Structure 1
Amino acid sequence: MTTDATVFVVDDDQAMRTSLQWLIESTGLSVQTYESADVFLASHYPGRPGCLLLDVRMPGMSGLELQGYLMRQGYRLPVILITGHGDVAMAVKAMKAGAVDFIEKPFHDEDLLRSIRNALEFDQKHRASRSAKADIAMRLAELTPREHEVMAMVTDGKSNREIAAALGVSSKTVEAHRARVMEKMRAESLAELVRMALLVAVDSPL
């Protein structure tokens, strides 16, 4: 797990913030606490690795409203909701909207810590995926329009002969384009090229 990850705690209850900070820091993780969603938004900058621990009910912008705002802004920080008994239905709805977990009060410390570890692992994997997608996108930008066509057909399972017929060129020309695609994409095999194409085709923001 990345060592520079931070657990961001947003809760209007000072005693709860202090308790959560002590608990999470006892595991060696970095913690930052905020008394409201507005304070969090005023000081947080996008791109920081970690996860967000939100109380569902807070004065002003609620935890659910903060989650929705961050989603609309394109921030993908994993969200864990802390809920009371009456908030469970809302928490389930929030999970369907992208939250990774919800913890009911009163909760066991280990349950919360397990949820935090899972959220941080989720964040780390998705950051690695976004980085890989950005790298592949840069390689794709080096391809010519014709090389893009050839790559699309190659990764769709078309043979050189089929590609040549579709493009109205010789098989030898297709082989040359294909070789340049493999070189520019730095793909060691057709399977690796297909994996690259599938990764960048996934409809999720960087």
Structure 2
Amino acid sequence: MTELPIRPLPKIFVVDDDASLRKSLMLVLEQEGMAVSAFHCAEDFLAAELPQSRSCAIVDMHMPGMNGLELQETLIRKGIALPVIILTGYGEFSASVRAIKSGAEDYLVKPVAREKLLVAVHSALAKSEQMLGIADRRQQARQRVEQLTQREREVMQLAINGASAKEIARNLNISHRTVEKHKSSLMHKTGSTNLLDLVKLATESGLAYGDHSEP
């Protein structure tokens, strides 16, 4: 019998300068079978190695040095796909709104109720899995496109913009037969079967097709 691969435990990062709160959150999450790492400041957290698996961060809004909102914005700016749950104090509604508008997955008011904590964490982990799937598809799409030559990229760019084979030939000053050769080659390299596949590939790769440099 083939053994199923063991799925790694979800990883939760707790970033808060309150040692007692860190300990309390870690206890609850570990009881739920989650792996937890705690940090007393945003700077230490950013210096840590983040796993490429289901994970999320629970971050205090107010900490010495970089605050929770700044940490969240830093993660977004660095392209780190990690859902963030913000911890706020009672009455900090405006801060919570700013966090959500900036991309936070959720916010929790301290003291944190166990039930609300777990609901927020499970929601963030589901978002993490979705984000990882998108990132994986984008990486695969990039790898396919990067196999193409400069001319194949040019043909692909024109094709997904709706140009016919004759228009592509005229635009690139090549023969219709050469266009068809390039199209056949790029379809094979990218694993595409039709134009819709190419459009989807272009969208998923997130590449700027104005750059026709050789891969």
User: Which category describes the TM-score, using the shorter chain as reference length?
Assistant: 0.7 to 0.9
Report sequence identity in percent. Answer: 37
Partner residue, 2:49: 45
1:68 aligns with 2:73: yes
TM-score relative to the length of structure 1: 0.84
Q: 1:94 & 1:142 partners in 2: Cα distance?
A: 40
Partner of 2:122: 117
1:5 has 2:18 as partner: no
**What letter corresponds to residue 119 of structure 1 in structure 2?**
A
How far residue 189 of structure 1 moved from its aligned partner, in angstroms, is 3.0
Matched, 1:97 2:91: no
Q: How many residues align?
A: 201
CA RMSD of aligned residues (A): 2.3
Question: Runs ≥4 in structure 1, deviation > 4 angstroms?
Answer: none
Q: Match for 1:172 among 170, 177, 198? A: 177
Question: Is residue 23 of structure 1 aligned with residue 63 of structure 2?
Answer: no
Alpha carbons 1:5, 1:48 under 8 Å: kept = no
- 2:68 partner letter: G
TM-score (norm 2): 0.81
Aligned equivalents of 1:142 and 1:162: distance in 2?
Answer: 24
Report the equivalent of 1:32. Answer: 37
Name the counterpart of 1:153. Answer: 158
Distance 2:108 2:147 in 1: 47
1:30 deviates by 1.1
| Counterparts of 1:154 and 1:69, CA distance in 2 | 38
Paired residue secondary structure (2:128)? helix
Which of the numbers 141, 162, 172 marks the counterpart of 2:146? 141
Q: Which runs of 5+ in 1 are unaligned?
A: none
Q: 1:83 to 1:22 in 2, by over 3 A?
A: same
Of 92, 100, 105, the residue aligned with 1:87 is: 92
Q: What code does the residue aligned with 1:125 have?
A: Q
Unaligned runs of 5+ in 2: 1-6, 209-215
Residues 138 and 206 in structure 2, CA contact (< 8 A), matched pair in contact too: no
**What is the CA–CA distance in structure 2 between the aligned matches of 1:15 and 1:51, rounded to whole Å?**
20
1:47 Cα deviation after fit: 4.7
